Amino acid sequence: MVKRFRFFLLLIFIGCKFQSQDLINTKFIIDKKFTAGDMYASKKLDQLFNVSGYSYFEPDYVGTSFESYYVKNIVIQDKSKNKSSYLLFFDNNDLLKDTLHIKKDQLYSLNVEFGNGRKGISVGSFNEVNSYFKINKNFELTSNLKLKPISINTEIIKCPLPVELLTEENIDLEDHFTFGINSQHIKPNKTLKKSENDFSIWKGSYHFSSKSRDGLKTSFDINIIQLNNVTVKYVNEGEPVEVYKNIKSEYVDKDKIKINFNPKYENMGIVFIEYADGDYYISGDPIYFINPGNEEMLLKKTD
């Protein structure tokens, strides 16, 4: 498993997170043919996202520049008028270096200072009532301007206000907003005392499978009996089946649990299950490295 994921890592850091990998590390100038209001068509973006005839829009907070790179926020609208948002990272020579999908209702903070002198991006949700930025994903921006997912528990020394909130109306907000990885309304030890009704949403069996870009199938079968009794069956095509029993899971917050099925693999041995609007999602480095660009994927609960 470790060898396979090291190979995935090499693919990720030299390629694009979309199917048009040949556009990464090339000069990328966005062509625009305005269609309605601020919406425009772009053959170049269609090529990047491997689509045809989509519409694009750049919000007011479209771009932010730093010493060695700049970022563009591109909103994509498909033919059914469904929208999604992506960040495009460029160096100062207009070379497209990397991309990142930002989910609906998620905000992002740029130039975040992590421990050990690293910088990057934090993604999460913002509670306007409490002025609290709840972070659920961290990415290191490497020296060659490639995004590398890092642990949610990584030390954050400085987190600027999310870009979308950098307006004149929010000048005072920069001085008093707070950030973290826990829901502000939940005390640190409260998640360890979940009621039986709360835990019932997790109890059961789950299945996930997907093919990597090299055509190899990977699957996870997860059976959650109790918080401290989880079984994980990991199947990676061409390699021996791995089964882990009596694993202890833990709450990240009230809607997300962490399963460390093999500590020897470090982050590659950890998956997360999140419950949202009646659906379950699986995430973590093992999922990300199957199909780079997909931070989380739908998880099927079988019983």
3-class secondary structure, 209 = strand
Please state, in angstroms and rounded to a whole number, the distance separating the CA atoms of residues 41 and 23: 18
DSSP string, 65-100: E-SSEEEEEEEEE-TT--EEEEEEEEETT-BEEEEE
Please state, in angstroms and rounded to a whole number, the distance separating the CA atoms of residues 156 and 111: 11
- 147's tokens: 């995004």
Residue 155 has a CB neighbour count (10 Å cut-off) of 10
pLDDT value for 189: 31
pLDDT value for 9: 38
pLDDT digits (tens, 9 = 90+) for 233-287: 999 888 899 999 999 998 887 788 999 998 888 888 899 998 887 889 898 888 8
Above 80 in pLDDT, residue 185? no
Contacts of 45 (CB under 8 A, 6+ apart): 30, 54, 56, 74, 76
End-to-end CA distance of the chain, in Å? 28
pLDDT value for 12: 37
Of the two residues 242 and 12, the one the predictor is more confident about is 242
pLDDT value for 134: 92
pLDDT value for 21: 61
pLDDT value for 251: 87
pLDDT digits (tens, 9 = 90+) for 79-129: 888 888 999 999 999 999 999 999 888 999 999 999 888 999 999 999 888
Contacts of 222 (CB under 8 A, 6+ apart): 205, 206, 207, 208, 230, 231, 232, 233, 259, 271, 273
Please state, in angstroms and rounded to a whole number, the distance separating the CA atoms of residues 238 and 47: 33
Please state, in angstroms and rounded to a whole number, the distance separating the CA atoms of residues 53 and 51: 7
Domain 191-301 belongs in CATH node 2.40.128: yes
Please state, in angstroms and rounded to a whole number, the distance separating the CA atoms of residues 166 and 160: 9
The radius of gyration computed from the CA coordinates of the chain, to the nearest angstrom, equals 20
Of the two residues 16 and 232, the one the predictor is more confident about is 232
pLDDT value for 227: 86
Per-range mean pLDDT, top range of 16-20, 55-59, 183-187, 296-300 = 55-59
- The domains of the chain are located at 17-180, 191-301
The angle at the Cα of 47, spanning 91 to 27, to the nearest 5 degrees, equals: 25
pLDDT value for 20: 54
pLDDT digits (tens, 9 = 90+) for 186-236: 333 333 334 334 678 899 999 998 887 777 888 999 999 988 899 999 998
